[in-house]
Structure 1
Amino acid sequence: MADHASRQEERSAATRRALLDATIACLVEEGYGGTTGPAVAKRAGLSRGAQLHHFGTRDQMVVAAVEHLAQMRLAAVRSRLQEIENQSADDPGVAQPVARAALELLAGALSGPLYAATLELWVAARANVELREELVPAEHRVRAELWEVCRRYVTEDPVEIQLTLDVLLGQGVSGMFHADRAESHRRALDRWERLLVDRSTSARPC
């Protein structure tokens, strides 16, 4: 009996993952307007009933998909930073290279087609109360994860954390329209890292 229940749970989890993956693909290729329940079910190779069983509304589905992928990307960022931290454990200058890696990894996570799709959801949520009610709690959870990564690897100062996130999120928006600015974005991150390091050094007691 327990084995049967376990197999059912595994099938349910696999179905949910297939729907989330199909939703992300639809969002990237078709935008929010084209990401409908029937379109997602068809792309996932599932019935409309299976889709409705997991997600009662389109807004629940798209928000769950975006949050799911964001959490996966952030988990990958944390894993990579932990590796770098472990490899550099004996290096007295570890804080600087890890901070730089954190900025680069977060910049990568907050860019590209998925980030564009996420911004499209925010624009749609401005006039869609139901979507906004689904999106705001998810955004708070993801932002808390971003905040914690910055606090651990970049800076502990709350104002600097906020500024760091603003820089990264702003670069993500700029990159959507100006792909040729990758080099200027890299230089901006270099400058921001140096400012943080200089401030941290000057704040240490003599």
Structure 2
Amino acid sequence: MTTPATARVPQEERTRAMRQRLMDATVELLVERGFGGTTTTLVSERAGVSRGAQLHHFPTKNDLVVAAVSHLTAIRGSDLEAAVARLPQGEGRTEAVVQMLGEHFASPVFTAALELWVAARTDPSLHEAVGPLEQHVGRETHRLTVELLGADESVPGVRELVQATLDLVRGLGLANTLGDDARRRRRILNQWARTLDAALDPREKP
């Protein structure tokens, strides 16, 4: 005999799986069509979820997008973790770190986040959801960059160099949304890595 508890578990799993498909579809459409072109109808079609089921969980586009913000934040975090695991040690480490950050900020997940930033500028409810999460992502990315570069932020100017690195890769990521900018990005970041090595190497200090 099936008890209510055992019957409820599969339903909960199905609901989680459906929400996951909706979140994935929302992120994909933000990349492909932008915020303006992402509609609840397209999301439900892409996710293979009935319109009624989607509206039950997310009655409006903003409900759906706000939920996708947390999902997108988690994807960005896991993508960075995977990229960090592939970084080499020793010589060439700084260049590898900087190039990795450049690739991350030129990735589709950054494009989706960028669409949300722009939309949140004039949408109070979306801004309320996006703002705190972006601040968290910014702090964590800064912390991670300091760790990967072995930077000592107690040294004057080092914190600013780390922040300049992140501002640079974000700017290059923005440029990449208008066309493949990979070759120019690699050249710029290669030069910036040399600048960082010279600035962060304690042997260069008097």
TM-score interval (norm. to shorter): 0.7 to 0.9
1:136 equivalent among 119, 131, 137: 131
Aligned residue type for 1:107 = G
**8 Å contact from structure 1 (residues 19, 40) kept in 2:** yes
Q: CA deviation at 1:72?
A: 2.2
* Residue 91 (structure 1) aligns with: none
Divergent runs of 4+, >4 A: 203-206
TM-score (norm 2): 0.79
Aligned equivalents of 2:100 and 2:6: distance in 1?
A: 40
Matches within 5 A, 1:17-166: 17-84=20-87, 88=89, 94=90, 96-154=91-149, 155-157=151-153, 158-166=159-167
Aligned equivalents of 2:77 and 2:92: distance in 1?
A: 19
Q: Deviations over 1:75-133 (max 9, x none)?
A: 23323423546xx4xxxxx2x53333222222222114443343232222222212211
Aligned equivalents of 1:6 and 1:99: distance in 2?
A: 48
**8 Å contact from structure 2 (residues 22, 47) kept in 1:** yes
The secondary structure found in structure 2 opposite 1:46 is coil
**8 Å contact from structure 1 (residues 110, 169) kept in 2:** yes
**8 Å contact from structure 2 (residues 198, 204) kept in 1:** no
Aligned residue type for 1:167 = L
Q: CA deviation at 1:169?
A: 0.3
Aligned equivalents of 2:148 and 2:15: distance in 1?
A: 36
Aligned residue type for 1:115 = F
Aligned equivalents of 1:149 and 1:16: distance in 2?
A: 30
Aligned residue type for 1:170 = G
Aligned residue type for 1:41 = S
Unmatched runs of 5 consecutive residues or more in structure 1: 89-93
Aligned equivalents of 2:135 and 2:123: distance in 1?
A: 18
Q: Which moved more, 1:133-142 or 1:114-123?
A: 114-123
Unmatched runs of 5 consecutive residues or more in structure 2: 154-158
Q: CA deviation at 1:70?
A: 4.4
Aligned equivalents of 1:122 and 1:81: distance in 2?
A: 25
Quote the sequence identity (%).
37
* Residue 197 (structure 1) aligns with: 197
